[in-house]
Amino acid sequence: MENLRIDSSQRPRLKINRTKEIRRVEKTTRRKKHSCRRERDMAVRINAMAVTFVAHALAVIAAIMLVNWVFDDDESGNSNFGSNSPLLHPVLMLIGFIILGGEAIISYKSLPLEKPVKKLIHLILHAIALALGIFGICAAFKNHNESHIPNLYSLHSWIGIGVISLYGFQWVYSFIVFFFPGGSTNLKSGLLPWHAMLGLFVYILAVGNAALGFLEKLTFLENGGLDKYGSEAFLINFTAIITILFGAFVVLTASAESPSPSPSVSNDDSVDFSYSAI
């Protein structure tokens, strides 16, 4: 009888706890729906998946053009790429920093995977891009020092240091807030717009600085006797144009509407194409 009285006395408390849990779940669901609705309202009325395919194609084209420039012989018959080649810097920065960084940004809109998997892919791609970007800057310093060229004298180098610093800050704070276990849901929701905005700002700055880098390199080559209307000059210019187009489509993908999930995953809450999945 005593046990029954204890159980009876606990029923109101259990009912209150159950009611609180239901309200908490409903509040979380409403917050998620509001976040997704807000993203759709701000999104460009273009299907993200179609734009993503164009971005992938431009990335491949830019990489092929860069490799063709780097490993081809120049107009005097000498190889452009060697152990102390100044072209190691653009290879690491374009393929590593710009392309992998862009693929990391659009991974949330292009991969129909579960949230934790996409979050991990997003994090790893950005980490690789950051590491290759740091190696690329170190390669530039090494080449300048061995060739007796001053460091950090141009706008390209100044912006480059700023971009890599902001990129590193963005990665560290994003890891702590969005990936590290035990983070506050309210904190994530509040910082998510800033995370996306800062990420796109840094990436746009990186693409613009890459264009400055191509211009700077082409100017050096032309001052050294390169034909201004030769095949190498045209290749460098077109590689820069393709790089800018790739960056534009990355930003467009991030701003476009999330694709609708297929019927097989439409009822699966773990599969989400939107940035609210962070």
- pLDDT value of position 268: 44
Torsion angles phi and psi, residue 271, rounded to 5: -105, 120
Asked whether residue 128 falls in the same domain as residue 153, the answer is: yes
**Residues 95, 61: contact at Cβ < 8 Å?**
no
Asked whether residue 69 falls in the same domain as residue 174, the answer is: yes
Asked whether residue 146 falls in the same domain as residue 195, the answer is: yes
User: Half-sphere exposure of 222 toward its Cβ, with a 13 Å CA cutoff?
Assistant: 15
What is the pLDDT averaged over residues 227-237?
A: 93
Asked whether residue 95 falls in the same domain as residue 189, the answer is: yes
CA angle 57, 63, 68 (to 5 degrees): 125
- pLDDT value of position 44: 61
User: CATH number of the domain that 179 lies in?
Assistant: 1.20.120.1770
Asked whether residue 37 falls in the same domain as residue 82, the answer is: no
Total residue count of the chain as it appears in this document: 278
Asked whether residue 89 falls in the same domain as residue 12, the answer is: no
Range with the largest mean pLDDT of 33-42, 78-87, 142-151:
142-151
User: What's the pLDDT tens digit per position in 243-269?
Assistant: 999 999 999 998 887 665 544 444 444
Question: Given pLDDT bands bounded at 50, 70 and 90, which one contains residue 79?
Answer: low
What is the pLDDT averaged over residues 133-139?
A: 95
Asked whether residue 87 falls in the same domain as residue 194, the answer is: yes
- pLDDT value of position 236: 95
Top pLDDT among 41 and 185 is at 185
What the block records as the tokens of 5 is: 């009285």
The whole-chain average pLDDT of the chain stands at: 81
Top pLDDT among 242 and 48 is at 242
User: What's the pLDDT tens digit per position in 173-202?
Assistant: 999 988 887 777 888 888 888 999 999 999
Question: Given pLDDT bands bounded at 50, 70 and 90, which one contains residue 171?
Answer: very high
Euclidean distance between CA atoms 28 and 185, whole angstroms: 9
Give burial (CB, 10 Å; 0-12/13-18/19+) of 107.
buried
Asked whether residue 32 falls in the same domain as residue 53, the answer is: no
- Name the nearest CA neighbour of 64 among 204, 235, 232, 227: 235
Domain count for the chain, please give it. Answer: 2
Domain that holds residue 28: 1-42
CA angle 261, 265, 270 (to 5 degrees): 100
Asked whether residue 34 falls in the same domain as residue 128, the answer is: no
User: What's the pLDDT tens digit per position in 199-224?
Assistant: 999 999 999 999 999 999 999 999 98
Asked whether residue 200 falls in the same domain as residue 270, the answer is: yes
User: CA 1 → CA 5, 9, 15, 257, distances in Å?
Assistant: 6, 12, 22, 62
pTM over 0.85: no
Q: How far is CA 273 from the centre of its chain?
A: 15
Asked whether residue 140 falls in the same domain as residue 27, the answer is: no
